Amino acid sequence: SHDQIQRASYLLVPEEERAAFHLKIGRSLRDWSSSEEMNSFLFIMMDQMHRGSSCISDHEEKIGLSRLSLKAGQMACGMSAFLPAAAYLKCGIGLLVDEDWDLHRSLCFDLYNLCAETECILGDFDDMKIHLEDALKRAHTLQERLRPNLTLVQSLGSQGCVIDAINTGLSVMIQLGEPFPHILTETSTKKDIMMTQSLLRTKSEEELVQLQVMVDGEKQQTMKFLHILTLYIFAEHPKYFPMIVCRMVRLSLLHGICKESAFGFAIYGVVLIGFLDDTAGGYRIGKVAIDIMNKFQAQENLAKVYAVVHGFLSPWAEPIQVTLPPLKHAIEVGLATGDTEWAMTASHIYAGTALFSGQALGPLALEMKQHKKNMLEYKQHFVEQVQKPVLQTVLNLVGPSSDPTKLFDEEMDENNRHNHAHALHLHYRMWLEFLFGDYQRAWKTRDMIQGEHGESMLRFIHVCNHIFYTGLTALALARKEGKHAYTDCIDDSIKKMKKWAASTPWNCGHKLELLHAENAYLEGDEDGAAKAYDSAIALAANNSFLHEQGLALERAGVFYFERQKCDIALEFFRKAHDCYTQWGACSKAAHVQVTYL
Which tens digits make up the pLDDT trace of 354-405? 999 999 999 999 999 999 999 999 999 989 999 999 999 999 999 887 789 8
**Cis peptide leading into 325, omega within 30 of 0?**
no
pLDDT at 23: 83
Nearest CA to 363 among 333, 398, 335?
A: 398
Provide the whole-model pTM. 0.90
pLDDT at 53: 85
pLDDT at 453: 55
pLDDT at 249: 97
pLDDT at 458: 76
Give the contacts of 212 (CB within 8 A, at least 6 positions apart). Answer: 256, 257
Q: Which residues of 59-84 are buried (b: 16+ CB within 10 A; e: fewer)?
A: eebbbebbbbbbbbbebbbeeebbeb
pLDDT at 164: 94
In order of their start, the domains of the chain are 12-154 (1.25.40), 155-297 (no CATH), 474-597 (1.25.40.10)
State which residues of the chain have pLDDT below 70. Answer: 1-17, 409-418, 451-457
Rg for the chain, CA atoms, rounded? 29
**H-state helical runs in 381-504:** 381-398, 419-435, 439-452, 460-481, 487-503
Query: Does an H or E element contain 116, and which?
Result: helix 105-122
**H-state helical runs in 123-204:** 125-138, 142-158, 162-175, 186-200
pLDDT at 402: 79
Give the contacts of 452 (CB within 8 A, at least 6 positions apart). Answer: 422, 423, 426
- Asked if residues 493 and 515 have their Cβ atoms less than 8 Å apart, the reply is yes
pLDDT at 410: 44
pLDDT at 414: 46
Q: What is the pLDDT of residues 250-274, one digit of tens each?
A: 999 999 999 999 999 999 999 999 8
| Angle (CA) 205 211 215, round 5° | 150
